[in-house]
């Protein structure tokens, strides 16, 4: 078995994934937990890194994601879009010189459509560097804040964000619909009905209509969660204005991948699944190669 060489951490808002990579570039093990940046204070990050080294070895650490945000360990400046993986690698922020680095995020400073991302850029550019997606492509990364990114010649040239997952969570916890959103959410007739509603527009009125229909006995309350999910995800996809048959490279896993694949297909797109973990690992490995960080 290959000797451990470094730790690549995908450090998000609520979750953290620690990948132990070998000297040959192969994944040795992964630890996933709920120690996202919101669970830690700024002065707790050094102890977390020390605990990981105590478990996995005294290794170089490369972290990406919200760990580099204002809510994380150190606020790392964004790089302007367009950007390449080599540019990201060349602008690592060494929190502990030669020991622990954070990958910068990417920003679009357009007053009409400002955008930022942290962590997704490693997946996007890693995917193209590893040949998981072509150099000219449209990628979708579903999640709490879904990202739609464009690649041209292997360069990240633009992206847009939709608060799709967060809106569903807020509706489920803090809205008049909250008592109706505990049902199952999966592809099927109810989700498809929500997608059809999204194509008709006027989502705000249609959201209230779901509650009214349940109150009036016109809708099975158990169907509302899937319908509302379809309405939100369908609206997210509809905003992209996909051309018939347009390829969409979907960086997602599990149920969320199934839901978005269904919505993209309903909107006329052609889905190409990509493993989000494989894309992240490819990006982190190439950043380390660029920095000559192999032990």
Distance CA 291, CA 78 (A): 19
Regions of the chain with pLDDT less than 50: 295
Q: How would you class 209 by CB atoms within 10 Å of its CB: exposed for 0-12, middle for 13-18, buried for 19 or more?
A: middle
End-to-end CA distance of the chain: 15
CB 203 within 8 A of CB 235: yes
Continuous H helices in 104-248: 120-129, 164-174, 189-199, 203-215, 224-238
The pLDDT value recorded for residue 290 is 81
The pLDDT value recorded for residue 23 is 84
Distance CA 278, CA 276 (A): 6
Strand locations in 142-191 (E): 146-152, 155-162
CB 152 within 8 A of CB 133: no
Q: Which residue has the tokens 């694949």?
A: 261
Tell me: cis bond preceding 82? Omega within 30 of 0 counts: yes
The pLDDT value recorded for residue 295 is 47
Distance CA 92, CA 291 (A): 9
In order of start, what are the domains of the chain with their CATH numbers? 4-115+282-291 (3.30.420.300), 162-274 (3.30.420.310)
Distance CA 238, CA 287 (A): 34
The pLDDT value recorded for residue 288 is 87
Work out whether the CA dihedral 243, 206, 255, 154 comes out positive or negative.
positive
CB 275 within 8 A of CB 252: no
Q: Which of 269, 290, 287 is nearest to 279 (CA)?
A: 287
The pLDDT value recorded for residue 25 is 80
**12 contact partners, CB below 8 Å, separation of at least 6:** 36, 37, 65, 66, 119
* 2-30 per-position pLDDT tens digit: 789 999 999 999 899 999 999 888 899 99
Interhelix angle for 189-199 vs 203-215, to 10°? 140
Work out whether the CA dihedral 145, 151, 154, 157 comes out positive or negative.
negative
């Amino acid at each position: 078995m290959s000797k451990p060489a470094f730790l690549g951490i995908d450090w998000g808002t609520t979750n953290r994934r620690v990948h132990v990579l070998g000297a040959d570039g192969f994944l040795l093990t992964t630890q996933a937990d709920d120690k996202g940046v919101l669970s830690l204070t700024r002065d707790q990050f050094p102890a977390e890194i020390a605990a990981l080294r105590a478990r996995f070895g005294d290794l170089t650490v490369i972290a990406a994601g919200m760990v580099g945000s204002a809510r994380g360990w150190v606020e790392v400046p964004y790089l302007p879009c367009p950007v390449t993986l080599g540019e990201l690698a060349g602008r690592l922020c060494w929190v502990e010189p030669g020991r622990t680095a954070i990958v910068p995020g990417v920003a679009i400073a357009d007053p009409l459509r400002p955008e930022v991302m942290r962590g997704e850029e490693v997946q996007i550019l890693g995917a193209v560097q590893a040949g998981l997606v072509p150099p000219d492509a449209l990628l979708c990364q579903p999640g709490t804040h879904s990202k739609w990114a464009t690649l041209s010649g292997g360069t990240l040239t633009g992206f847009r964000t939709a608060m799709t997952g967060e809106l569903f969570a807020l509706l489920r916890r803090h809205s008049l619909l909250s008592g109706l959103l505990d049902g199952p959410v999966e592809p099927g007739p109810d989700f498809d009905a929500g997608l059809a509603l999204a194509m008709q527009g006027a989502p705000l009125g249609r959201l209230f209509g779901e509650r009214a229909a349940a109150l009036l006995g016109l809708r099975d309350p158990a169907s509302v969660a899937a319908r509302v999910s379809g309405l939100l995800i369908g609206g997210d996809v509809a905003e992209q204005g996909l051309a018939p048959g347009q390829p969409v490279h979907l960086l997602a896993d599990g149920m969320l991948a199934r839901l978005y694949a269904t919505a993209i297909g309903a909107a006329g797109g052609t889905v190409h699944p990509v493993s989000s973990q494989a894309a992240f690992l490819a990006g982190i490995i190439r950043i380390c190669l660029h920095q000559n960080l192999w032990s």
